[in-house]
Amino acid sequence: MAAEPKKRPEKLLHVDGQGLKRLVEASLLWLRYHQPNINALNVFPVPDGDTGTNMLLTMQGAWHEIEHSTEENVGKVAQQVAHGALMGARGNSGVILSQLWRGFARSLDSKPNFGAIDLAHAMREASETAYKGVLKPVEGTILTVSRAVAEASETARHEDDDLLFILERIVSAAKETVAETPNLLPVLKQAGVVDSGGQGLTVILEGMLRHLHGESLDASHDRVSEAPIALQEKVPADAALDAGDVAQGYSYDVQCLIKGHGMNVEEARTRISELGLSTLVVGDAETIKVHVHVPRPSAVLAYAETIGRLYDVVVEDMAAQYQQYLLGRSTPTVPTPAYHLKPGNIATLAVAPGEGLTRVFQSLGTTAIVPGGQTMNPSTQDFVKLLETIPVDQAILLPNNGNVVMAARQAAEVSRKQVIVVPSKTIPQGIAAMLAFNDQRDLEANARAMEDATFHVLTGEITTATRAIEYNGVKVAEGHIIGLLNDELTAANETIEETLFTLLEQMKAENLEIVTLYYGNGILLAEAEVIGVAINTKYANLEIEIVEGGQPHYYYIISAE
Amino acid sequence: MISIVTDSTSDIPPDIARDLQITVIPAHVIFGEESFDDGVTLTREEFYRRLKTSKSLPTTSTPSAGEFAELYRRIGGEIVSIHVAARWSSLLSVAQLGASLVPEARVTFFDSGKLAMGLGWQVILAARAAQQGKSVADLLQVLKDAKRRTRLFAALDTLEYLRRSGRVNALVARFGRLLSIKPLIEVGDGEVTLIDRVRTRRAALDRLKATTYALGPLQSLAVLHTANLETALALADEFAMSIPNLREPIIVCEATTAVGTHVGPNGLGIAAVVADAVVAE
């Protein structure tokens, strides 16, 4: 985004609707740039629960709401932002972000513009609203950062009514608080990370500040090595983001590194920008990183070859991905005519990653499946839309992932239907809850019985560590096979089998009756059966069930009772 | 005194039947080419042993109309004949056909709407009233009341037998074949409803107990099982200590072969008669 350089020293005393729009856009771009870094701040080294992606998609929802708005009234624009963020909210951090916007907008009410006092008040209301939106607020998170931001706004406005000055104070307070989060929240310290949600909020505010400073938002001044735009796995999240570019015919996603000597980054950026959209060209005279959406990949690669050698070239057809994404998102896995519901029945909606797990939920009578969970946290809107298609007035939502619970709760509030969220945090918990569903009972009684059922099942999950960590005495090297017991990192070994047996020991499998192995995408039935036989050899009394899960990233999800 | 007749699907223990002068007509159990009289030429133990090992599922068939006719002729006098739910079995209509072959027979029929001890309790209560010299009209009143107060629950160890038998398709359809599930069902008047679905025997037992306690004060209780005697005895012991004011000892019995065929081994259930005051409407 081209920011108009501001000639200081005249003060910025007011921001109107269009001004806020530009700030939101700036924060979105800056967040997009920092997305991979924020994603990397997972407490556990597991390949999911991506805070950066979730917050970005939430801001994307906010941006779409005002993208074409010419509204001058800042209160109205803030309302639109808040609504967009609410519906786009994904993951717990996204939901809290949407609550911040909600409070911010409510405070601005219908003011034509905001000044220093309004900003301080809005920041306070934002923080307070976010705190109220969380059942058990935890310090050392985005909440703490939001409160520091509110306090900094209040202090700063007494010193100067210049909004740029106040925002500078806000951003430094946010950064300091983020740095403090490991001291406030022990799990962060153990994991050696700062809080990802707090970091995301800081990036959003920093993006706004950079805009006011007239600084670039595509990070061209950062060295590639310091701020890696990882050639990250293409998740549907990106496909959604890129929908606009695809629609315009810029359907190839091209990424590459150019290595050379004395390259001119500015010139490369100009040339490549002419060829495509969503251009990101960053680096220095020796290394340039390119990420661009183009109608034909050949032109950009041909140009790149003229200035240096090409490395790590990735070309992806976003149109195909987008189509797949649309199919996956917009058609519920259970088509509408198959809803076996009569008026007065209670619908059940479950989040499930993978075809196998989808079938399991369907076989238990789940009304509709929301795809996603581990790679992709569904948004509030995903739930709301699906709820609208269901021909009954009462529903129960099973998020089946700790990071989806808040978006589901938000959807329950937004929906006009009577909806209860049973806070299942894992797939086995969700399946246990679904088993306890009984269409003869009323909504509340079902929700109680289902939640109770989630406490009677043990969950094991096995995946590859995305980085090294030492947590609760478990030493993990990058690439290790790690095991999570009830969502806590408890095991790390060289092989899947070793990790699985460690988990079974921790579960005290000798006292259990039944273990179900849901094998993931990439695991063959035969491999799972070999492990099943090994388990049976060690635990002769255990009933072993092997079921296709088809989930990404996790070799096995284990349910034990 | 009015004579009481029932069929072997009632599960009434032989000594109780003898004491109360209840005549039990055996259903037929057929394993392949062999036909047995339920409880007479084939004990329940032997039945479950064969059920586990036999390649083909046993079938059960009702006594013939001729057998009923012969029985009614032999007993003579005023008879009240109480049987398995007409919705599940043609037994009642075969019995009626049998009675029509005996011009002098004075048989009044009653559809229990249940099976196993759900039927058994109704028969026992009617037999006691008969021993007190009650009239047919009185007995029918006792039966109607008992039918209303009798509840029957079962925890199935597996759905395999229910699937193989092709019965209760609508119920089974709700499970698919993906997971091993133990359903808790209520056998209502000619209907089976799903109460709960669990995955372990321990949980199934817990739910069966909770369901029993939730019935409120009970007058009579039977623990039913399919080749699962030890668990059934332990459960009966626990009930005996925790359920006050039962009017008679808890009966433990192996469930009827017709049930066993569909339920398979290791099933557990209860048949209870809820105390009068509770159901006063």
Candidates B157, B197, B207: best to mutate against A (most CBs of A within 10 A) is B197
**Closest CA–CA distance from residue B91 to any residue of chain A (Å):** 31
Whether A240 shows a pLDDT value over 50: the answer reads no
Q: A236-324 belongs to which CATH class?
A: alpha beta
pLDDT at A263: 86
Specify whether B208 is located in the same domain as B128.
Answer: no
Q: Does the structural domain A15-213 have CATH classification 1.25.40.340?
A: yes
Structure tokens at A501: 């047996």
Helix (H) or strand (E) holding A136: none
Please state which of the four CATH numbers 1.10.10.60, 3.40.50.10170, 2.40.50.140, 3.50.30.10 is assigned to the domain occupying A331-454.
3.40.50.10170
Please write the tens of the pLDDT for every residue from B52-62: 788 777 888 89
Q: Tell me the CATH number at B260.
A: 3.30.1180.10
Are β-strands B267-274 and B218-226 bridged in parallel, bridged antiparallel, or unpaired? Answer: antiparallel
Average pLDDT for residues B180-196, to the nearest whole number?
85
Residue B27, pLDDT above cutoff 60? yes
End residue of a domain, out of B117, B147, B177: B147
Range of lowest pLDDT (A141-150, A215-224, A400-409, B190-199): A215-224
Helix (H, G, I), strand (E, B) or coil at A533: helix
pLDDT tens readout for residues A405-450: 999 999 999 999 999 999 999 999 999 999 999 888 899 999 999 9
174-193 of B, contacting A, C-beta below 8 A = 174-181, 193
In this predicted structure, which of A137-141, A273-277, A345-349 has the lowest mean pLDDT? A273-277
Residues B224 and B235 in one domain: yes
If you write DSSP's letter for every residue of A197-224 in order, what string do you get? HHHHHHHHHHHHHHHHHT--SS-TTS-T
CB-CB contact of A385 with A331 (8 Å): no
Put simply, whether A362 touches B (Cβ < 8 Å) is: yes
A–B CB contacts, 8 A cutoff, strictly below: 47
Q: Which of B216, B241, B226, B51 is nearest to B154 (CA)?
A: B226
Chain A residue with the nearest C-alpha to that of B184: A436
Rg over alpha carbons for chain A, rounded to the nearest Å, is 25
Give CA separation, A315 vs A34, A290, A298, A324, in Å.
22, 12, 10, 17
State yes or no: pLDDT of A289 exceeds 80. Answer: no
B158: left (phi over 0), alpha (psi -120 to 50) or beta: beta
Q: Where are the domains of chain A?
A: 15-213, 236-324, 331-454, 459-560
Chain A residue with CA closest to B185: the answer is A438
Query: What does the alpha-carbon distance between residue A97 and residue A126 come to, in Å, rounded to a whole number?
Result: 9
Q: What is the pLDDT of residue B55?
A: 77
Please, is A374 exposed, middle or buried when counting C-beta atoms within 10 Å of its C-beta (0-12, 13-18, 19+)?
Answer: buried
Which domain-ending residue is among B147, B166, B197?
B147
**Closest residue on chain B to A453 (Cα):** B198
Residues of B in contact with A436 (CB under 8 A): 196-197
Contact assignment for B179 to A456 by CB distance below 8 Å: no
Q: Which of B177, B198, B202 sits opposite A435 (nearest CB)?
A: B198
- The tokens describing B17, both together, are 């039947």
Residues of B within 8 A of A547 (CB-CB) are 178-179
Q: Which of A359, A435, A525 to mutate: most B Cβ within 10 Å?
A: A435
- E strands within chain B? 3-7, 22-25, 28-31, 34-37, 59-61, 78-83, 106-111, 150-155, 182-187, 192-198, 218-226, 251-254, 267-274
Claim to verify: residue B7 and residue B131 sit in the same structural domain: yes
Measured between alpha carbons, how far is residue B258 from residues A445, B26, B82, B271 in Å? 34, 11, 17, 16
Q: Are residues B125 and B58 in the same domain?
A: yes
Q: What is the pLDDT of residues B225-262, one digit of tens each?
A: 998 999 999 999 999 999 988 999 999 998 877 778 77
Q: For residues B61 and B159, state if they share a domain.
A: no
Residue A113 forms beta bridges with which residues? A16
Question: How far is A436 from A531, CA to CA, in rounded Å?
Answer: 29
CB atoms B203 and A561 under 8 Å: yes
- Tokens for B255, please give them: 């469930």
Q: Is A55 in contact with A97 (CB distance < 8 Å)?
A: yes
A360 touches chain B (CB under 8 A): yes
- Residue A253 pLDDT more than 60? yes
Q: In this predicted structure, what is the pLDDT of residue A343?
A: 81
Task: Domain of residue B110: give its range.
Answer: 3-147
Instruction: Quick: pLDDT tens for A122-169.
Output: 999 999 999 998 888 999 999 999 999 999 999 999 999 999 999 999
Strand, helix or coil for residue A259: strand
Q: What is the mean pLDDT of residues A240-267?
A: 69
Q: Where are the beta strands (DSSP E) in A299-403?
A: 309-317, 346-352, 368-371, 394-398
pLDDT at A246: 54
Q: Looking at the predicted structure, is the pLDDT value of residue A243 above 50?
A: no
Give the pLDDT confidence score for residue A221 in this predicted structure.
Answer: 43
Across A334-379, where does the E strand assignment appear?
346-352, 368-371
Please tell me the distance from the alpha carbon of residue A260 to that of residue A286, in angstroms, as a whole number.
Answer: 5
- Kindly determine whether residue B195 and residue A438, on different chains, have CB atoms separated by under 8 Å: yes
pLDDT of A505 reads: 97
- Choose the CATH number for A459-560 among 3.30.1180, 2.30.29, 2.60.40, 3.20.14: 3.30.1180
**pLDDT for B82 beyond 70:** yes
Least CB–CB distance from B196: residue in A359, A360, A436: A436
> Domain of B76: which CATH number?
3.40.50.10170
State the total domains in chain B.
2
Which of B175, B195, B201 is the closest to A363 by Cβ? B175
The predicted pLDDT at position A264 comes to 85
Residue in chain A nearest B207 by alpha carbon: A436
CA A370 → CA A91, A358, A410, distances in Å?
Answer: 14, 9, 15
B interface test, pick of A434, A513, A548 with most B CB neighbours within 10 Å: A513
B118 near B82, Cβ under 8 Å?
no
Structure tokens belonging to residue A222: 């950062």
Average pLDDT along chain B: 89
Give tens-digit pLDDT for A396-415: 999 999 999 999 999 999 99
Mark which residues 89-148 of A lie under 8 Å from B by CB: none
Average the pLDDT over each of A43-52, A275-284, A370-379, B51-60 and give the range with the smallest value: A275-284
Asked if B179 lies within 8 A of A561 by C-beta distance, the reply is no
Q: What are the φ/ψ torsions at residue A352 (nearest 5 degrees)? A: -145, 130
B193 interaction partners in chain A (CB closer than 8 Å): 440
ipTM at complex level: 0.78
Contacts of B194 in chain A (CB under 8 A): 438
Q: Which of residues B147, B173, B194 is at a domain's end?
A: B147
The answer to whether B197 contacts chain A (CB < 8 Å) is yes
Of A359, A456, A514, the CB nearest to B178: A359
Most confident option among A358-362, A379-383, A458-462 = A458-462
Judge if B69 and B55 occupy the same domain. yes
Measured CA angle at B254 (ends B253, B257), to 5 deg:
140
Cβ-Cβ contacts under 8 Å, A362 against chain B = 176
Distance (Å, whole) CA B251 – CA B124? 12
Alpha carbons within 13 angstroms on the beta-carbon side of residue B1 total: 14
Provide the pLDDT confidence category of residue A368 given band limits of 50, 70 and 90.
very high
pLDDT recorded at residue A304: 86
Shared domain for B69 and B137, answered yes or no, is yes
pLDDT band at A280 (very low <50, low <70, confident <90, very high): low
Q: Looking at the DSSP assignment, which residues form a beta bridge with residue B29?
A: B36, B60
Q: Which residue has the higher pLDDT, A301 or B235?
A: B235
Does A362 sit within 8 Å of B176, measured CB to CB? yes
From A481, A435, A427, select the one nearest A459 (Cα to Cα): A427
Same structural domain, B266 and B201: yes
Q: What gap in Å lies between CA B257 and CA A318, rounded to an integer?
A: 63
